[in-house]
Amino acid sequence: MEGLFVGFTAITWQNLLMMAIGGTLIYLAIKKEYEPALLLPIGFGTILVNIPFSSVLDQIEGGQQVAGALSYFFRVGILTEVFPLLIFVAIGAMIDFSPLFRRPLLLLFGAAAQFGIFFTMTAATLFGFDLREAASIGIIGSADGPTSIYVASRFARHLIGPISVAAYSYMALVPIIQPPVIRLLTSRRERLMRMDGSQKPISRTTLILFPILVTILTGMFAPTATALIGFLMFGNLVRECGVLKKLSLAAQNELASLVTLLLGITIASTMTADRFLQVSTLFIIGLGLCAFIFDTAGGVLFAKFINLFIKRKVNPMIGAAGISAFPMSARVIHKMGRQEDSSNFLLMHAVSANVSGQIGSVLAGGLILALVK
Amino acid sequence: MTAATEAIFREALEITGKGMMALFAFMFVFFLLLVLLDRLFPGRNDEAGKQIL
C-alpha cells in the first residue's frame, strides 16, 4: 500500500510551483489564446514531469534505468535537431516569397530587426552567462521558436526550457510589446506615411529558383546555417514547384501540427523544478523581452535611416515587421497604420518585411552557430 | 566587472559587429538575387501569377 502514496510523500513545494506554472501556461493557451499549439503542450508536459517519479522521464528502477517517453523524445527529437528542422519544412511550405519580389528592398529589414538577438547576447554576458549561454538567450530575439530551440540545443541544453517558454510567450505578446516601442520611436507624421503597392506578376521559374539559390549561397558562405536555411527552403520548394500540392498541404497542416505537438510536450521534459526554478530563469525571461524590444527598435530605426537615401519612402513602422513572428507582426503594423489613418493599407508591405524576417531569423541562428565557439 | 566577464563581453561585442555585418551582407546578396531573377524571368500577366495573401 505504501507504494500507492509515494507521489504524495515525495512531492515538494517546488514540484507544486512548477505544476502551477504549467497550469498558468495552459490557462494562457486556452483563455488568452497565446500560442496555444505550443504553450498548451508545454504546460501539460510541465505538470507531467513534475509528478514525483513520473514514468514520462527516465527513472532508475531496481538498479536499472527505465526509459521515459519524454526523455526519449528529447533525445531523438531535440538533441538530434530533427523536430525543429521538420518545423522549418512546414514553415517553408507556408511562406509566399512573391510579395518580396515586388519590393526587394524590404528584404534588408529582415536583417535590421535581428538586432535584438545580438544586443541581448552581449547584455547577457554582463549577467554572468558564458558566451554560449548568452547566444542561446539572445536568439530568443529571432522571434522564431524552432531557431531558438535549435541553437539552445547546441549551446545550452540546460536552458532549453526557459528559453522556449520565453520565445513562444513573447511571440504571442507581439501585439502588446511592439506598439509602444514603435510609438516611442516614430512621430505621427511618420506613422501616417503611405506606401505605393505593386501587383506585378512573379514568374513560377523565379519562385522555384529562389529557394534553391538561397540554399546554395548560404551553404557555401555559412555551412553551419545549411540545415536551418536548407530545410526552410526545401519546404518552400515543395510549395512552389506546383507538382507536389498534396505534400505541400500536408507539410503546412499535418506535419506542422504533429511536430508542433511533439516539440511542445518534449520541451516540457526540461521543465523540471530543479532545472527551471533558478535565478537564471528570471534573467532569461527579462532578457527575452529586451531582445524583442531591441528587434523592434532596430527595424524602425533602420527604416528611418534608409529613408534618408531612397525616393520611395518606407513607413518606419514597416521596419518593426522585420521580425520573424509571422503573420502577427505584419498584422500589428497594419492595424497601427489604420488606427492613424483608416484608409492607409500597409499590410502588403508589412507582410514582405515579415517574410524577410523569417529568412533573417534563420540566417541569424546559423551565423550565431558559426561565430560563437 | 571582473576581467573574465569583461573578456566575454568584448567577445560578444565583436560577434555582434561581425554578425550584423554578415547578416546585412547575406540579405544584400539575396536582394540582388531577387532583382536578378525577376529581370531574367519576368512574370507575365497570363502566367499563374501569385496573389498577395
State pLDDT tens for residues A331-354: 999 999 999 999 998 998 999 999
Mean pLDDT of A32-44: 89
Cβ–Cβ gap B34/A100 under 8 Å: yes
Cβ-nearest to B19 among A104, A108, A118? A118
A324 and A299 Cβ atoms separated by less than 8 Å: no
- Comparing C-alpha atoms, which of A74, A82, A79, A138 is closest to residue A270? A74
Is B31 in Cβ contact with A213 (below 8 Å)?
no
SS3 content of chain B, % helix, strand, coil (to 5): 70, 0, 25
CA distance B37 to chain A (A): 6
Residues 83-122 of A with CB under 8 A from B: 96, 98-102, 104-105, 107-108, 110-112, 114-115, 117-119, 121-122
* Whether the predicted pLDDT of A255 surpasses 50: yes
A277 phi, psi to nearest 5 deg: -85, 70
Closest C-alpha to B38, from A208, A213, A203, A242: A203
Record the pTM.
Answer: 0.88
- What's the grid cell of residue A62? 531496481
The dihedral through the CA atoms of A180, A185, A187, A193 has a sign that is: negative
**Which grid coordinates are listed for A65?**
534505468
ipTM > 0.85?
A: yes
pLDDT band for position A93 (cuts 50, 70, 90): very high
pLDDT of residue A92: 94
Nearest CA in chain A to B42: A203
DSSP one-letter code for A326: T
Show which of residues 36-65 on chain A sit within 8 Å of chain B, judged by CB atoms. Answer: none
Grid cell at residue A228 = 536551418
Cell of A160: 532549453
Instruction: Compare CB distances from A121 to B16, B27, B52 and report the shortest one's residue.
Output: B16
Amino acid at A343: S
Task: Quote the distance between the C-alpha of residue A164 and its chain's center.
Answer: 9
* Percent of the residues in chain A that have a pLDDT greater than 70, as a whole number: 99
Q: Is residue A59 classed as helix, strand or coil in its secondary structure?
A: strand
**Tens-digit pLDDT profile for residues B1-53:** 788 889 999 999 999 999 999 999 999 999 999 999 999 999 876 555 454 44
Cβ contact A281:A127 at 8 Å: no
Record: contact B31-A105, CB cut-off 8 A: yes
Residue whose C-alpha is closest to residue A107's, from A317, A318, A292: A318
What is the tens place of the pLDDT at every residue in A73-88?
Answer: 999 998 888 999 999 9
Per residue, the 3-state secondary structure of chain B, as one string, reads CCHHHHHHHHHHHHHHHHHHHHHHHHHHHHHHHHHHHHHHCECCCCCCCCCCC
Residue of A47, A25, A20 whose CA lies nearest to A272: A47
Lowest-pLDDT range of A194-198, A366-370, B35-39? A194-198
